[in-house]
């Protein structure tokens, strides 16, 4: 019975290695002159696309007030229990607002469930990925840090309207 030619059997030119080695060497030599992928981070910053899930923030309307109505759905859905909301009444049309809104950024896992579940499009994921704290207290982001003007978040909101 004749031996069947297997797929891994090499031809003569492949067996003497040298042409194949030269092929490999030319490939790496070409690669050496191609543009580099490296982003030199502290000097050059990576700008994520709209689908990026960075630090969750609260949307601030143009009149300087938050959209949030303090329904508490985000804090209910949050898997690591990172969000704390305390509601209060207001004279505005929406009647309720969060008197305290706190995200513990040590706990947050950037899953984006809060954004998914929010009926008012009031909490969205931003493009901010530079998070560092030197103490646990600093990691508690209150309303002062969370409120972000709607202009900076338009990108993400458009993305959500399109794909959510």
Partner 1 sequence: MSILQIIGVTVVKILVIFTMMMLTVSYLVYFERKISAWAQNRLGPNRVGWYGLLQPFADVFKLALKEDIVPTNANKPIHTLAPIIALFVAFTTYAVIPFGPDINLFGYNIPLVVADVNIGILYVLALSSLGVYALTLAGWSSGSKYSLLGGIRSSAQMISYEISMGFSVAGVLLFAGSLRPVAIVQAQHGWMWNIVLQPIGFITFLVAAFAETNRLPFDLPEAEPELVGGFHTEYSSMKFAGFFLAEYANMIISSALIVTLYLGGWQFPYIESFGLPAGLVLTIQILSFFAKIAFLLFFFIWVRWSIPRFRYDQLMNLGWKVMFPLSLINIIWVACLIMIFNL
Which residues ranging from 29 to 88 are in contact with partner 1 (CB under 8 A)? Answer: 29, 31-38, 40
**Residue placing its CB nearer to partner 1 in the complex, 37 or 163:** 37
Stretch that binds partner 1, among 24-32, 81-89, 127-135, 154-162 (CB under 8 A): 24-32
Q: How far is the CB of 44 from partner 1 (least distance, A)?
A: 11
Decide whether 40 or 93 has the Cβ nearer to partner 1: 40
Which residues touch 19 (CB under 8 Å, ≥6 apart)? 13
- Choice between 16 and 109, CB closer to partner 1: 16
Could you give the CA distance from residue 9 to residue 50 in angstroms, rounded to a whole number?
A: 49
CA distance 59 to 46: 23
Q: What count of Cα atoms within 13 Å lies in the side-chain half-sphere of residue 48?
A: 16
What are the angstrom distances between the C-alpha of 163 and each of 45, 49, 93, 134, 158?
27, 14, 29, 37, 9
How many residues sit close enough to partner 1 to count as binding (CB under 8 A)?
A: 16
Q: Which is nearer to partner 1, 30 or 151 (CB)?
A: 30
Which tokens in the block code for residue 30?
């070409």
Residues of the shown chain interacting with partner 1 in the complex, contacts defined by CB under 8 A:
18, 21, 24-25, 27-29, 31-38, 40
């Amino acid at each position: 019975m004749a031996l069947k030619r297997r797929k891994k059997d090499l031809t003569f030119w492949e067996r003497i290695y040298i042409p194949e080695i030269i092929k490999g060497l030319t490939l790496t030599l070409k690669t050496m002159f191609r543009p580099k992928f490296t982003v030199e981070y502290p000097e050059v910053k990576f700008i994520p696309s709209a689908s990026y899930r960075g630090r969750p923030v609260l949307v601030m309307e143009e009149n300087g007030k938050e959209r949030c109505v303090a329904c508490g759905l985000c804090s209910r859905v949050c898997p690591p229990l990172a969000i704390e909301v305390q509601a209060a009444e207001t004279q505005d049309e929406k009647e309720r607002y969060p008197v305290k809104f706190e995200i513990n950024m040590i706990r947050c896992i950037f899953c984006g469930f809060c954004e998914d579940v929010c009926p008012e499009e009031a909490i969205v994921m931003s493009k901010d990925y530079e998070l560092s704290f030197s103490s646990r207290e600093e990691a508690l982001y209150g309303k002062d840090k969370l409120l972000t003007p709607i202009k900076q978040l338009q990108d993400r909101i458009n993305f959500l309207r399109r794909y959510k």
